[in-house]
Amino acid sequence: MSSITHLKHTFTYAGVDVAKDKIDICILQDQGSLSRVVATTRERLNEAAQWLRSHGVDVVVLEPSGGYERIVEEVFVLAGLAVAKINARQIRDFARGMGRLAKTDRIDARVLALYGQAVRPAASVCAARNIRLLKDLAIRRQQLVEMRAQEKTRLKQPAAQAFGDSCKRLVAFLDEQIAEIEARMRELARKSRQVHDRIGLLRSMPGVGEVLAFVLVAMMPELGHLSRGQVAALAGLAPFNRDSGWMRGRRACWGGREMVRRILYMAALAARRSDARFRDLYQRLRKAGKPHKVAMVAVMRKMLVILNAMLKSGTPFNTEMAP
């Protein structure tokens, strides 16, 4: 559960479509497929896991479903099944590529099984319960921060003379709620040795404050288990080629985990001011004619790659670490 499983080509995949009260399962076989619908209670999910294993399934492919997939992932992993959690957009693009435009729970389970068979994805990191709780708190904090930003924007509007006091009271209330969420995050870190140790390592890097450390631990449990290229792509900081024939398009970063990227940008601004290593990288790129945004993404990527190496080795930040 703490590291990514490297899957062999002999592994057998099953697709699982997760809904609020049930899951649809599909196992592909040479002579057809097996399907089953199971209620999402621990007892029924345990029975389903044993059924999957009895048919030689090693890896279950599913997509995030608003948190309803958590109990499925937990029960299946404890039963000895690997779980590959795939972005829903990738699954829909895969289905369209096969010409499968219809969408039902049963069809989705089959598409997930076909995706596993064709792509053979690696199993996801199954985060511990305390890290899942930290993720919930981090998401809620971000929601409150966005609501506060909206109210502050309204205060600048001409019509604010009529409702400005209301906005100010709401901003003050949201400040209190954000502080309460952050206090709960600190308390969780104090109670969990795993969270506490990871946050301590992360905060040893210049520019990495408390909020970014919480977000990285919560939103990127894979950090410390991936290669430098994988971790950059996961955060949406890896430039992708856009070439065709003789045409060479502009490289662009896209996708990835938006919350991580947003807060990492603020950390990169601080790191650029406080650490010569990141400041020199930024200035070198700017002198080479790169736009501010490109230079900042390079600083963010370098920070994340080093943070990944720090967690992998269990070593605090130092200026001699390889990028």
* Per-residue pLDDT, 1: 41
| Higher-scoring residue by pLDDT: 188, 256 | 188
Q: What is the tens place of the pLDDT at every residue in 93-117?
A: 998 998 888 889 999 999 999 999 8
Give the C-alpha separation, 59 to 168, whole Å.
Answer: 52
What is the rounded CA–CA span in Å between residue 142 and residue 138?
A: 6
In CATH, the number for domain 13-119 is 3.30.420.40
Q: Are 69 and 62 in contact (CB under 8 A)?
A: yes
Sign of the Cα torsion 259, 260, 265, 269 reads: positive
CB atoms near residue 65 (< 10 Å): 17
Position 244 scores a pLDDT of: 55
Q: What is the pLDDT of residues 185-239, one digit of tens each?
A: 999 989 888 889 999 999 999 899 999 999 999 888 888 988 888 888 888 887 6
Which whole-number Å values give the CA distances from 312 to 3, 114, 192, 234, in the listed order?
11, 33, 19, 16
Q: Which two tokens stand for residue 273?
A: 């001011």
pTM of the entire predicted model: 0.71
